[in-house]
Structure 1
Amino acid sequence: MNDLNRKFRERINFPIDTPITLKNLDDLLEKTASSLPFENLCPLSGDIDDLSDDYLFEKIIQRGEGGLCYDLNGILYLFLKENQLEVQLVRGSVYVPDLKGFSPTGRTHAAILMNEGVKRYLVDTGFGGNLPLRPVPMDGSEIQTPSGSFRVKKQDSEFGDYLLEMKLKGKDADWRVGYAFDSRESVEVQELTEMKKVITDHPQSPFNKKPLMTRVTADGSMVLTETSFTQWKDGEMFKEDIDSEQFKVLAKKYYNLEIK
């Protein structure tokens, strides 16, 4: 893999020579979320190529694409590891409010855990419009971020031993579950291929039917589908209906993605 450290920094516009520490991870995560869109063009294309360090470098760094959780957290994990942070990839399952339960696709969410001294944090840049934009302490303490409030709760489930809970700004009045994850089982990038194949092929996957693009910024988020463009700014929502030509223009303008 060619110079991931330098190329990743260039991709997200982060200073080349600045050491990565807990103190500047907030800035790093904001820049990553703003630069790397959460998008599902690969599942829609039927791409089931195996995930690897080289694959992620080519897709996200060289081709300038985004991806889903296994792509985005996969490349961030490799970058943090290259910068000597103590990190591990973990798997979990997203809670689906409409189903009043966890996703029928199972453990198809990838996230990162990071150790800093005696403390442990959840780091995630692949959770669509629900990104904390901050490392979330795993000791249960609540944090306030530009996106809202987040906390990690110790609780056993069929999908792990912890829950990420959140109250998104302008969206949630009460705490709700984002996903469950297992801190006891680490995986490597190559092992996320199984997750990718489930998301690509499963009949109940939310990402293999229609295009979806999301970007989170310090003051809100934007979500693009074939029929609508929704922007959240400082807790307020602005939504407009669009046609197929507008979809292509907006995909290029806000996500730097070419739609043919």
Structure 2
Amino acid sequence: MTILLDSLYKRIGYRPTKPVAFADLPEFLSLLSLQFPFENGAVLNKERTPMTKNDLTDALLNKKRGGLCYDLNAFLYYILKEIGFSVHMVQGTVFNQQERAWAQTGTHIAVILQKANETYLLDTGFGINLPLAPVPFSGETVASKTGAYRIRKVKTDKGDYLLEMDKGDYLLEMDKGEGWQTGYAFTMKPIDEKVLTKVRDAIFDDKASPFNKHPLASKLTKDGKIILSKDHFTKHTESGVTKEKVEDGEFAAIFNQAFFD
């Protein structure tokens, strides 16, 4: 076992008795989701982490921070590659459910895994909309505690495939749709660190970016999810939903306490 994998396994509480296999990925992805929040602190603080394995490992493991899709899914890619899986990264465009329109073009990153003759999508950086398991290109539905997910081959100007979601009772308060919804479109073209860097810079600098204006954070928990904005801290648990007002200057303290317990 490498130093990276040993450190990661200790961080997420994963105790493998053998090398991580494909069948272990749902448990592995679920443990990752409980440790690494989706958050934009680095963007607001103008901290441009280089998109390399060493720099992302230092940021996420040693400095105990989260990140956006290009951080979290690039880190996932480096981890899976180190384990020995056949993986590459791809680029996508998120569909904004509120505005019923595509968001900032090409700024979502996901991971493609090949196993024998089968292809799967993995994503640990799509907010709290995480399949928590490899999603097959066969069209088969994958269900997790966050909802149901599937991939459809549909030609769009943003890519030839769609990740679709049926969130059921797990819909965010802002989502008004029902049934299957488009999460994002994506291409199958492999991307490298240069493309990752361009995606990162677009999120940092583009006026169309939804992540360079106000602080936000979200993470799955063992019994639900937590969502922190500049105005409210919302907890979803098995016993219900609580929503607390966030006063000026409180975001950082709440984030550090609630997201890295």
Give the TM-score normalised by the residue count of structure 1: 0.91
1:27-76 superposed Cα distances (whole Å, 9 cap, x missing partner): 11110010011110011012234321221011111111110001101111
**Residue correspondences, number:** 254
Amino acid at match of 1:240: E
The change in CA–CA distance for 1:118 and 1:252 in structure 2 (over 3 A counts) is same
5+ residue gaps in structure 1?
none
Q: Which runs of 5+ in 2 are unaligned?
A: 172-176
Tell me the equivalent position of 2:101: 101
Residue identity in the other structure for 1:223: I
The 3-state SS of whatever aligns with 2:5 is helix
Moved more, 12-21 or 94-103: 12-21
CA distance 1:34–1:49, change in 2 (3 Å): closer
C-alpha separation in 2, matches of 1:30 and 1:228:
25
Distance 1:222 1:90 in 2: 28
> How far apart are the structure 2 equivalents of 1:17 and 1:182?
36
Counterpart secondary structure, 1:43: helix
Structure 1 residues 248-257 or 170-179, which shifts more?
Answer: 248-257
State how far apart, in whole Å, the 2-side matches of 1:236 and 1:61 are.
Answer: 32
Matched with 1:255 is: 259
| One-letter identity of the residue aligned with 1:174 | G
Residue 155 of structure 1 corresponds to 154
- State the SS of the aligned residue for 1:98: coil
Q: Deviations over 1:83-133 (max 9, x none)?
A: 111111001000012222211x21000000111122111100000011111
CA contact (8 A) 1:147 1:218 kept: no
**What displacement does 1:169 show?**
3.7
SS at match of 1:99: coil
TM-score, normalised to structure 2's length? 0.91
**Is the contact between residue 41 and residue 215 of structure 2 (CA under 8 Å) also seen in structure 1?**
yes
Q: Give the equivalent residue in structure 2 for 1:26.
A: 26
Matched, 1:224 2:228: yes
Please provide the CA RMSD for this pair: 1.9
Task: Rate the CA distance shift 1:162–1:234 in 2: closer, same or farther, 3 A.
Answer: farther
Q: Distance in 2 between matches of 1:228 and 1:212?
A: 10
